[in-house]
Each structure stands twice: as structure tokens, then as C-alpha cells.
């Protein structure tokens, strides 16, 4: 059976993340991806997580402590567009994940925005190791969602194929705007344009 976008996002991350890697959860939310990443990188790795909502940071921290995965995770209550204030120019990351939209069971008016999401993606692309991946799960069935989806889709179409592969994965015959998964993978070797 075809894998739903959220599950496929974890498959794409699991394929490349190894113990000791540095990864980013750009939208911590309720902490499920943060925990998943913390397990993959192990105690020698690093997970850097961002969310603008205190509720998301608190919920995630509690889950991390309950599972004893908090040692390898640093959480920041700030927008993912500020990633360059946390990661130095020399730092390399193996992977990053975004879940665009709003925090489930919270204020649906607080949503991710196209310009800041694109800014974060661009910064993370600069830090990606060869064969590293940025996964973006685009939820757009809410007010403001279609605008962000369109902006992000237009942006990823412009990413140079000489440096990156970009995948779009979605179910096209389902109701209620099923999420779209985007994967940006840095090529092992840069090809001439």
C-alpha cells in the first residue's frame, strides 16, 4: 500500500540519519518528529528544534525527558527563519524537517508563513552535507495555507538541479487537501548547470 506523506517523511530521514549526526526540526509542534530524530542521532548526535509557541516547546521537552532523549536536543522558542543565529557558518547538518501549518489542538491563527519558511529552507540548504535531505510536509487546508503552499512550491521549482534533487510526493485523488511531501536532497557531486 502507498505510504502516507507523514510516514514517508520518516522513511526518507531514516535512510540517511546515523548516530552522531546533527539534524534540525524546524517546526517542533507536539514533538513527534523531535523524538524520532533524537532516537536516530543517538546520544552522540544533536537535534536542534525551533517553534515560536511556548506550548510546543514545553510539550516536546516533557516528551523528551519522559523518554530520556533530552540530552541530545536543544530547543529554541523562536521562528525557524532564525536558524542562522543558532547554527554557525561552519556547521553541517544531515537533515531537517518542516511540518507547515499550525500547531494541532492550538490557535489555528498562528501558522507558518511562506517567506520565513523559504528563508529557513535556504539557510538549511547552505548547511546540508552531501546526500543530506530537507523534508517539508505541507499542510494547506487552513486559512493562509494555500498561499504558503504556492510560495514554497514556486521556490522549490527554482532550486538548481546541478546541486539538488527535489521530490514532490502527494495523493491527488483524496479529499480535504492531503499533505504534500517535498524532499530536497543535496547531490553527492555538483554537476555542471
Q: Which three cell numbers stand for residue 146?
A: 494555500
Residue 61: pLDDT band with limits 50, 70, 90: very high
Residue of 142 and 100 predicted with greater confidence? 100
The pLDDT assigned to 192 comes to 60
- Please tell me the total count of domains within the chain: 1
The pLDDT assigned to 176 comes to 85
157, part of any domain:
yes
The pLDDT assigned to 1 comes to 83
103, part of any domain:
yes
192, part of any domain:
no
The pLDDT assigned to 193 comes to 58
104, part of any domain:
yes
Rounded to whole angstroms, the Cα distance separating 98 from 136 reads: 5
pLDDT in tens, 66-123: 999 999 999 999 999 999 999 998 999 999 999 999 888 787 888 999 999 999 999 9
CATH number at residue 41: 3.40.50.150
The model's pTM is 0.95
Res 191 pLDDT > 70: no
Rounded to whole angstroms, the Cα distance separating 4 from 63 reads: 24
pLDDT in tens, 5-46: 989 999 999 999 999 999 999 999 999 999 999 999 999 999
79, part of any domain:
yes
120, part of any domain:
yes
Q: Which three cell numbers stand for residue 101?
A: 501549518
For residue 57, the enclosing domain spans 5-186
Q: Which three cell numbers stand for residue 11?
A: 522513511
CA distances 57 to 38, 61, 119, Å, are 15, 6, 22
41, part of any domain:
yes
Mean pLDDT of 142-164: 95
Cβ neighbours of residue 93 under 8 Å, at least 6 residues apart? 21, 22, 23, 24, 87, 124, 127, 128, 129, 132
The pLDDT assigned to 144 comes to 87
The pLDDT assigned to 142 comes to 87
140, part of any domain:
yes
Residues 178 and 171: beta-carbon distance below 8 Å: yes
Residues 47 and 74: beta-carbon distance below 8 Å: yes
Q: What does the mean pLDDT of the chain come to?
A: 94
Amino acid at each position: 500500500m502507498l505510504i502516507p506523506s507523514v510516514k514517508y517523511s520518516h522513511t526518507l530521514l531514516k535512510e540517511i540519519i546515523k548516530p552522531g549526526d546533527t539534524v534540525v526540526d524546524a517546526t517542533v509542534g507536539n514533538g513527534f518528529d523531535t523524538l524520532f530524530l533524537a532516537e536516530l542521532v543517538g546520544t552522540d548526535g544533536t537535534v536542534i528544534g525551533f517553534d515560536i509557541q511556548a506550548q510546543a516547546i514545553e510539550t516536546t521537552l516533557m516528551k523528551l525527558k519522559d523518554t530520556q532523549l533530552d540530552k541530545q536536543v536543544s530547543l529554541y522558542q523562536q521562528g525557524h527563519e532564525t536558524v542562522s543565529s543558532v547554527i554557525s557558518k561552519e556547521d553541517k547538518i544531515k537533515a531537517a524537517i518542516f511540518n507547515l501549518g499550525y500547531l494541532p489542538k492550538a490557535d489555528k491563527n498562528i501558522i507558518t508563513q511562506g517567506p520565513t519558511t523559504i528563508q529557513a529552507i535556504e539557510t538549511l540548504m547552505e548547511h546540508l552535507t552531501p546526500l543530506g535531505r530537507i523534508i517539508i510536509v505541507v499542510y494547506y487546508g487552513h486559512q493562509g495555507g494555500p498561499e504558503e503552499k504556492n510560495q514554497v512550491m514556486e521556490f522549490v521549482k527554482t532550486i538548481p538541479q546541478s546541486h539538488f534533487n527535489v521530490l514532490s510526493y502527494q495523493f491527488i485523488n483524496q479529499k480535504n487537501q492531503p499533505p504534500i511531501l517535498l524532499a530536497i536532497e543535496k547531490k553527492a557531486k555538483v554537476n555542471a548547470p
